[in-house]
């Protein structure tokens, strides 16, 4: 497989060159970008797959809301079943389901009361609708580094500075959606390896808590507790590692592809694996939970296992947290 990836290097170079050309054309105003009347902060990445963008957006939205600002989040709504602009939350009411919104936007809407959430292939359309009907102080773009049709006041880019050399090339040879040199265009580079290499700001994620999916009751797990995992995320091995770092023993892990649409048959498979694993608890992420919550067919498919189903919450740890927040807040005070 590694040899094949390097044989595809010419295609990777072409992909990287086209990405760089596209960005150059926007920077020189050959291709036009829309200027939003309120500040826009993008949280994105250059590599494909999970890098922790959504938890960082959640952290930033919550922090700004606590400081008294009205925040809206917009994203593409990857793998949703709808088209065009969709308003997911007005800050008080959930206005779309997981099929219309996508899993991550709906998770943001449920976890962030008071924050407006919308999705659309063309972010400008949903941003304009929110401005016309509600008004906000700032927009946060989840996964916006490649969405150049909207100008932004700050570009935050998450990157694993400790990633393998082979992963630092454009696809299909590596995991990048452009040449690594594009990282220089970031206003803030956040190193998800936690080391702060390349002059980046160190960032890491930790499991914050566990709670019962059926009623949100907090649960404390003792060191050595046996758990069974299921996930529909891009980097399932990281989730497993985080469980082990919590002192838990993973007896089984059922990993579906990222953003996978769970069916009743999938859930029965998970429930059967849980029963055969002799684990006391079944654990998933909030992104997995959001697809099941409120779906009678999926909840029923869990059977008795539903009473042992735990959901995790995650916290973001950033060394220069205040510096980042003050910088963003200064945009609204101009």
Which tokens belong to 74?
Answer: 């917009």
Q: What is the distance between the alpha carbons of residues 235 and 192, in angstroms, rounded to a whole number?
A: 13
Q: What is the DSSP letter of 148?
A: T
In the predicted model, is pLDDT for residue 1 greater than 70? no
Which residues, at least 6 apart from 140, have a Cβ–Cβ distance to it below 8 Å? 40, 41, 42, 43, 57, 60, 61, 71, 72, 73, 74
pLDDT at position 193 is 85
pLDDT in tens, 308-331: 999 999 899 998 899 999 999 999
- Give 57's Cβ-side CA count (13 Å radius): 34
Name the pTM for this structure.
0.92
Mean pLDDT calculated for residue range 29-34: 93
pLDDT in tens, 230-244: 999 988 998 999 999
Helix (H, G, I), strand (E, B), or coil: what is residue 117? strand
Mean pLDDT rounded to a whole number for the chain: 91
pLDDT in tens, 147-169: 999 999 999 999 988 887 778 88
- Domains of the chain and any CATH numbers: 2-199 (3.40.50), 205-316 (3.40.50)
């Amino acid at each position: 497989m590694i040899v094949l990836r390097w044989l595809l290097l010419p295609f990777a170079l072409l992909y990287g060159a086209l990405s760089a050309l596209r960005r150059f054309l926007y920077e020189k105003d050959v291709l036009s970008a829309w200027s939003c009347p309120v500040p826009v902060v993008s949280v994105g990445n250059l590599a494909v797959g999970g890098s922790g963008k959504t938890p960082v957006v959640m952290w930033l939205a919550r922090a700004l809301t606590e400081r008294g600002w009205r925040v809206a989040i917009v994203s593409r709504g990857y793998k949703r079943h709808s088209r065009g602009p969709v308003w997911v939350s007005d800050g008080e009411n959930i206005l779309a389901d997981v099929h219309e919104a996508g899993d991550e936007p709906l998770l943001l809407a449920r976890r962030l009361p008071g924050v407006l959430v919308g999705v659309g292939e063309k972010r400008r359309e949903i941003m304009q609708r929110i401005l016309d009907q509600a008004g906000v102080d700032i927009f946060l773009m989840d996964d916006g580094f490649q969405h150049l049709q909207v100008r932004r006041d700050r570009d935050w880019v998450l990157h694993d500075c400790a990633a393998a050399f082979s992963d630092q090339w454009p696809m299909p040879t590596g995991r990048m959606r452009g040449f690594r040199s594009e990282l220089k265009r970031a206003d803030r580079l956040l190193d998800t390896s936690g080391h702060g290499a390349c002059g980046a700001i160190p960032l890491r994620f930790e499991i914050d808590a566990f709670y019962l999916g059926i009623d949100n009751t907090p649960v404390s797990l003792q060191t050595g507790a046996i758990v069974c995992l299921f996930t529909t995320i891009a980097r399932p091995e990281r989730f497993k590692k985080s469980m082990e770092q919590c002192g838990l023993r993973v007896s089984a892990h059922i990993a579906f592809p990222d953003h996978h649409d769970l069916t009743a048959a999938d859930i029965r498979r998970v429930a059967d694996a849980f029963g055969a694993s002799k684990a006391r608890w079944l654990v998933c992420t909030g992104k997995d939970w959001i697809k099941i919550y409120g779906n009678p067919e999926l909840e029923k498919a869990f059977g008795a296992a539903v009473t042992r189903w735990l959901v995790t919450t995650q916290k973001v740890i950033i060394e220069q947290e205040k510096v980042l927040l003050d910088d963003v807040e200064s945009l609204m005070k101009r």
